[in-house]
Structure 1
Amino acid sequence: MTTTEVESVPTGAQIQAARDGVARRLLKGSSSRSYDPVVDIDWAAPFVPGKYFLPPRVMSLYGTQVWDAMTPEQRIEMSRQEMANIMSVGIWFENLLNRALLISLMKEDPAAATTHYSLTEMGDECRHMTMFGRAIETTGTRAYALRRWQRTVMHLIPVVMRGTALWVITLVGEELFDALQREIKDDPELQPMVSRVMQIHVTEESRHIGFARDGVMRRIPIRSRFDTLLASSVHGLAAPIFRHLFTNPEMYRRAGFDNPKEIARVARANPNFHDSQVTSFASLAAFLEQAGLMNRFSRTMWKRAGFLR
């Protein structure tokens, strides 16, 4: 490596300075445009008859013979259960992110702007978890619990959320939901309360995604081979987990089906649902390719799970 090449590689101090600049900008945005779901959502407003809790076009059974055989009332109930399931998954992953950020802050400068923004982000995520939980309660459904093995995985994941992997796993947990919500938040078939929840989440989550993407890109010049291998592989493990969570048999049972496991298999084979999955993953997939973090293993896993073609 020549002297010029050595000098072109940013130092840790330069990267931190650049990250601090991004963090200060995001802190200003947070101070001027943040929400308190307790007061910024009208939880007492009645639901609009005939409207859905998720638009039919993004639901797991839409376009199947099972869907065609359902009554309008059954379809709305399925949307209510599917919404509660998605919001439950959102709560788990925001909990995971907060725990990983808390661990990482143990070794960070408490006076740095990046630390202050991480703390602000955790505050946002706590309000989001409250908002999702309140939405589940308001719709009269119940949250969907993790199985024991899933809880074990969630406890272990923060152990590997270091370096680039921290921000990649953060993006996987945030962008899949963000892309879906951006597509449907203004849908006229959506219940106003659910639409408002999604609008708030998209607004605040855009800052979190920007911070995580910046974290990935800033590390490119200093990434070790191990850091690259870990970050480009570990996110592929999320693909089958999301496939299962988004077609959780329990939500079909709660919606009134006597054969929930069979219905889940129908959903997983549904081309329309695959289109929705691909759409939700497209932006993140392109970013991971750009950052050199989509290897053969992770690409194969996302394809098998229906998120890539």
Structure 2
Amino acid sequence: MTVTDDQAAHDTATRLLRSSEQLSFDPAKQVDWETPLDKDHHGTSPEWSTLYGTSYWDEMTDAQRKELTRHEAASVASTGIWFEMILQQMVLRDFYAKDPTDPEFQWALTEIADECRHSIMFARGATKLGAPAYIPRRTAVELGRIFKTVASGEAAYASILVAEEVLDVMQRDWMRDERVAPFVRTINDIHVVEESRHMKFAREETKERMKGSGWLRRQINAVSVAGAAYFIVTSMWNDKIYANAGLDEQRALREKKDNEHHKALLRSSCAGLMEFLASCGLLTKPALWFYKRANLI
């Protein structure tokens, strides 16, 4: 980076550190963990359910719908934990042995600390929702293991941004929805506020690291980011949520696959993200294949 770029990065990190000092949360104290789960509430906004708008949804009782959305919320949270662990390792590796007096270094550690709290918060939230651990399928786990080891620069930060942006749009809806369990709304509120800083940092890092990159580098990174996006998004709703919610798993999976309402929600949630990736040269034709498969575009 040039001197001007260095100063801009320094200023951004300083602002984010100040924001973190002024507006951060302690989920252990600010989420109501003690009040028993009220099963009259949903886990997500019903419209975000993978079965909303299907004939199966129309046949389900209100209690079944609420049970399903609670398992869906737990599954999304579990996927969030999985990717936050990948994120933390990529950021730690990126800032290994760098200047600890630099605000960027200190912000990186602040972000990692935030992610640790978020992962614990999501884990406790899933437990309170009465759901099991929804670990992504083995293929995604092993590819994630490779990705966190080799991804660097813009590939790492753009992937971080993809995961956070998709979750951010969903959670903004859920945190305002009084049909959603109050403690889940609090979790979403905390995550949205603190992740807004992380997304700002990821956007800036992606733009800076893409400056001067050649055609081949852009092509490789575009596919790497798109592949990561595909596995993150397709892992959010674990196949086992339906059986665990007392539904016919095979029928639910068929109807989920053909649910145009849910696909449209995903696409609309990613409009701004796709515009940003295009502006960085990361929305190539090969990358588009992955985004279309994940219903993100």
Query: What TM-score, normalized to structure 1?
Result: 0.91
Is residue 2:163 matched to residue 1:149?
A: no
Q: Measured at CA, do residues 212 and 86 of structure 1 come closer, stay the same or move farther in structure 2, by a change above 3 Å?
A: same
1:36 Cα deviation (Å)? 0.7
Say which one has the larger Rg: 1
Instruction: Please list the CA deviations of residues 10-56 of structure 1 after superposition, one character each: whole Å capped at 9, or x if unmatched.
Output: 62x43232211100110000011111100011111244452211111
Percent identical among aligned pairs is 33
Equivalent residue for 1:114, pick from 68, 89, 104 = 104
CA–CA distance in 2 between the matches of 1:146 and 1:301?
18
Letter in 1 for 2:284: N
Q: What is the letter of the counterpart of residue 14 of structure 1?
A: T
Paired residue for 2:26?
A: 36
Unpaired runs of 5+ in structure 1?
1-9
Correspondence for 2:296: 307
Deviation sequence 1:257-291 (CA, Å, 0-9, x none): 24x24422311210111122112222211111122
Q: Distance in 2 between the 1:107 and 1:195 partners?
A: 39
Q: What's the RMSD between the two structures over aligned residues? A: 1.7
Q: Matched residue of 2:198: which SS?
A: helix
Larger displacement relative to structure 2 (52-61 or 182-191) = 182-191
Q: Partner of 2:116 in structure 1?
A: 126
Residue 243 of structure 1: how far off its partner (Å) = 4.8
What letter is aligned with 2:270?
Answer: F
**Which residue does 1:178 correspond to in 2?**
168
Deviation, 1:58, is 0.7
Question: What is the aligned counterpart of 1:296 among 274, 285, 290?
Answer: 285
Would you say 1:284 and 2:278 are equivalent positions?
no
**Partner of residue 95, structure 1:** 85
Q: TM-score, normalised by structure 2?
A: 0.94
Aligned counterparts of 1:288 and 1:125: Cα–Cα separation in 2: 24
Taking the aligned partners of 1:245 and 1:26, their CA distance within structure 2 comes to: 30
- The 2-side partners of 1:266 and 1:199 are apart by 31
In structure 1, what residue type is equivalent to 2:48? V
What does residue 73 of structure 1 align with?
63
| Aligned partners of 2:158 and 2:225 also within 8 Å | yes
Task: Say if 2:49 and 2:69, in contact at 8 Å, map to a contact too.
Answer: yes
Deviates further, 299-308 or 41-50: 41-50
Change (3 A) 1:157 1:68: same
1:239 is displaced (CA, Å) by 4.4
